Structure 1
Amino acid sequence: MNRPVVFAVETILRSWLADTDLTIFCGNWNHGGVMELLPRGRARLTDAKYGAPFEGLRDLHLEDSPHHVHLDLGRLTKAWYVVTPSVCYGFRPSFELRLTVEAGDPLVDFGLGLALSHPYVDGQLRPDIVKRYLRRAAEHAHQFPAVASCVCASQLSTPAVRTDWSVLDDLLSNLGNEHPDGALSVREALQGRKMIAHQST
């Protein structure tokens, strides 16, 4: 097990769990189901409980509840910041973190996902929380370049989505210089997005 990688993934995961407006999810729509938890600030990650070869095992608990998720951070070695269309928002962008195995495709198969629960209010993108998401992506890409990456799925070219990306492009252009290498990797991933025509039915 690669202890620095486990430390990196655990650090990234804990930074997300501090948010109160958070959705935790796992599963694959191709397999017919997705599970979601809404912790509302009550999610807690245990410390290491075991020695080798199980040092990467952690439990994700909800306070005052028996519900929990078992995680092996020795296997979930990649942390992907993913911007992808979501049916929950009418195929407008969702802002997520997905943990995968080493060769996993975050757009297809992942072990655990976390997302901003409410990136929109009154039909408008919330630039404050999305800005925080982008800054966190840049920070983690800077701190843990072998672990943290950013990827953008193809986006539907609708008026609402184009408006969202106008806001996002402004946020990206002003992404601070605190972590310039991380900010560059985030900008390159998102500004290189592919827009596809929306097929109305």
Structure 2
Amino acid sequence: MDFKRIKEMLKGALFIGFTAIVLACQASAEPKDQKIVPGIVNIKPDAQQGLVARELVEMIERYNYKKVKINDSISSVILDNYLKRLDGSRNYFLASDIKEFQNFRYTMDDDLRNGDLSAPFYIFNVYLKRYSDFVNYSLERVKQPFTYTSNDTYNYDREKMPWIASQAALNDLWTKREYRFPMGQFI
């Protein structure tokens, strides 16, 4: 046997082995039931996204120069950063949403390791619902006469402020934003 033929056989064996490993990993990943957010079209993770999540965790743990272990403390950081990226200005999520998301605080690491993306997708679906509520509220407000007689103030930097407690308080915040943003266009 020549070297070229042996090389081709090894490539074939590696391909078959890799394919078998990938299929076994996909079959073993049982995502949790995706929680449904009423009032919107919910997006759901697919098997390929779960596989990518699993591979990323493995690559970070195995090949990162710091040899980072994805654990509960990293899981907590992942949740905090995800919420900050989605709603860093705290204009959409309610305090009750954030309280519910705390259930995911120390499980994201295990979920990602297993390729289960149901938690981040659920959080994103809640965000989509809140944002949709904001758009619908704003469209209804546009139909009403607009006056600049309010003495209310609006704090742009809400990052360190508490999350809004109720939908009524969130609507009030959105109304204050409406008063400020149109004025900002002319000043």
Higher relative contact order (CA 8 A, sep 6+): 2
TM-score by length of 2: 0.23
Higher helix fraction (1 or 2)? 2
TM-score by length of 1: 0.22
Higher strand fraction (1 or 2)? 1
